[in-house]
Structure 1
Amino acid sequence: MNQPADIVIRPARVEDIPVLLAFWAEAGENHGRPVDNAPVVEALLSRDPDALIVAELGEIIVGTVIAGWDGWRAHLYRLAVAPDHRGRGIARLLLEDAERRLRSLGAIRFDAMVLATNSAGASAWAAMDYHPQEEWVRWVKRATTEASSD
């Protein structure tokens, strides 16, 4: 694996939000999810400043993952790597940092939300020893009645 030595892993900052939204529009799995917006990301950072982890190359964000902890369960989502930086170990670095964070908070198991049609994402998760749990089905409901693109 050709892993860049100059990747910096750090928590996202409020000033990163516009860049993150543009990054996810290009690199994220966006099908089947509500549209991301600045107030939602800012609320996440306000509630849990270390939950959103970014990978930077130089001063450019090339990867993200959200390591959510609700005090009981550990949830991983929004794993994304810039298309021209995939295959270089960035997802692994992000997940290792996320898992370390969640373990320190008391997590004993991690779960990841991955679209069933996201084969690139499935490969990344499988490479880190994650596997689908076939006996579970995710059920969702919109929190608002407003029309959205989810």
Structure 2
Amino acid sequence: MTDLRIRAASADDLDTVLAFWKTAAEGTSISDDRDGVERLVARDPGALILAELDGELVGTVIAGFDGWRCHLYRLAVHPEHRRRGIGSALLAAAEERFVRLGGRRGDAMVLQRNETAHHAWRAAGYAPEDKWRRWVKHLTD
């Protein structure tokens, strides 16, 4: 896909990204609001990676690195553009970012019920770890 553009998001992209996730992303997060995404981009300007075709947002991934672990969130491709390599291109960009920053292993948050995503993640070389379970405590309402 030669006309696919992969780039880091800027503050000007945030409303478009939030609207895109309502169409393309599975599930919602407590941080899926303007304040949450604004904090992400301000704290780690390269973490939110976008894929565009002809100026249209067609995919996203968050590639967060805390200096110790590489975390992947919000891999989403617009339903009309799936199975064209966009997700793979986003993951390649995220993995390249992690390697540049010194990361050694990426982990992904994937909903258990999202079977379509399971296939995509497995095809990219990721696998679930049965010995771990995510524990969560909400810090705000």
C-alpha separation in 2, matches of 1:57 and 1:143: 38
2:126 alignment counterpart: 130
* 2:112 paired residue number: 116
| 1:5 is aligned to 2:16 | no
Structure 1 residue 35: deviation in Å?
5.6
Q: Which consecutive residues of structure 1, in runs of 5 or more, have no partner in the other structure?
A: none
Q: CA deviation at 1:133?
A: 0.4
- 1:23-73 Cα deviation digits (max 9, x unpaired): 001100125x32611111111100010000000001111000000000000
Structure with the bigger RCO (C-alpha within 8 Å, sep 6+) is 1
Structure 2 partner of 1:26: 23
Q: CA separation in 2, counterparts of 1:18 and 1:30? A: 18
Letter of the 1:118 counterpart: N
Identity of aligned residues (%): 52
- Residue of structure 2 in register with 1:46 after alignment: 42
Number of residue equivalences? 141
Q: Does 1:101 align with 2:97?
A: yes
Task: State whether structure 2 residue 17 is matched by structure 1 residue 16.
Answer: no
Cα distance between partner residues in 1 of 2:136 and 2:59 = 26
Could you state the TM-score of these two structures normalised by the residue count of structure 2? 0.97
Task: Give 4+ residue runs of structure 1 displaced > 2 Å after superposition.
Answer: none
Q: Which amino acid counterpart does residue 28 of structure 1 have in structure 2? A: A
Compute the TM-score of the two structures, normalised by the length of structure 1.
0.91
